[in-house]
Structure 1
């Protein structure tokens, strides 16, 4: 397995993964809009998306969005989006994606948080 930042050439594969992710959350399949959404993220460079690969097949992703915290008085990256294809779950891919996100955040001296698990000051640090 290897992990790298998504690039424009990953658009179709990433859109498919994103559509699968949304369906796991109870949404209807909408590959066209998923592709447009991901394409905008890549074009606008307003998020960081890491892709995980097994034998050159994209099997998961994590998406980080930059923001700021007035509570922490620091820039932060939050993630709501973490997904691994069902056939690859339980093999440590999600853990590796989170670790890669934290590694980049540490290098950039940014706080990395999850917004969906509100604790303490409002964020769960990763």
Structure 2
């Protein structure tokens, strides 16, 4: 049985490994030092919410990270669920579902009216989970990206 809780600084080592694995899932090169630095910044700046799933033996099996933002049109808070990762050996055991549910509860506790996320088109497993949890695919807006370092 897992317990979802807010990540704390003592989780930094284990969480860094998970973030590095997560990035590799998205075809990024392993960079454990960079993952640790990135998470250290999040803890230091307090600019994201990180929840972890902790198993009975104390092992962290997954995490979800949310970044607060605002909606001008809605004139309210809208958080981006930017990251969800579960170790392969804990998948299909309800860990992702528990993390997603805890993220929604946290948002609701903070008065946030909407969570948004993006996932790769090929990530069918995650899409099935999101759909099963009531998330709706956005068909009203296109998503665009700009790499500002690659502009001409």
**What is the TM-score when the length of structure 1 is the normalising length?**
0.91
What's 2:30 paired with?
29
- In structure 2, the residue matched to 1:10 is 11
Report deviation, 1:76.
Answer: 1.5
Separation in 1, partners of 2:10, 2:66: 19
The answer on 1:119 being equivalent to 2:133 is: no
Contact 1:71 1:121 (8 Å CA) reproduced: no
Higher strand share: 1
Larger Rg, first or second structure (1 or 2): 2
Q: Give the deviation of 1:57 after TM superposition.
A: 0.3
Q: In 2 relative to 1, CA 112–53 (structure 1 residues): closer, same or farther, beyond 3 Å?
A: farther
**Is 1:99 aligned with 2:101?**
yes
> Does 2:53 match 1:52?
yes
Contact 2:53/2:60, CA 8 A, preserved across alignment? yes
Counterpart-to-counterpart distance in 1, 2:59 and 2:95? 13
Shift of 1:51: 0.4
Match of 2:28, SS?
coil
RMSD of Structure 2 on Structure 1 (CA): 1.6
Query: Does the 8 Å CA contact 2:81/2:117 hold for their aligned counterparts?
Result: yes
Do the aligned residues in 2 keep the contact of 1:64 with 1:77 (CA within 8 Å)? Answer: yes
Query: Is 2:44 aligned against 1:43?
Result: yes
Question: Could you report, residue by residue, the CA deviation over 1:32-88 in whole angstroms, capped at 9, with x for unpaired residues?
Answer: 000000000011000000000112100100000000011222112111200000000
TM-score using structure 2 length: 0.76
Specify every segment of 5 or more residues in structure 1 that has no aligned partner in the other structure, as ranges.
none
CA contact (8 A) 2:78 2:116 kept: no
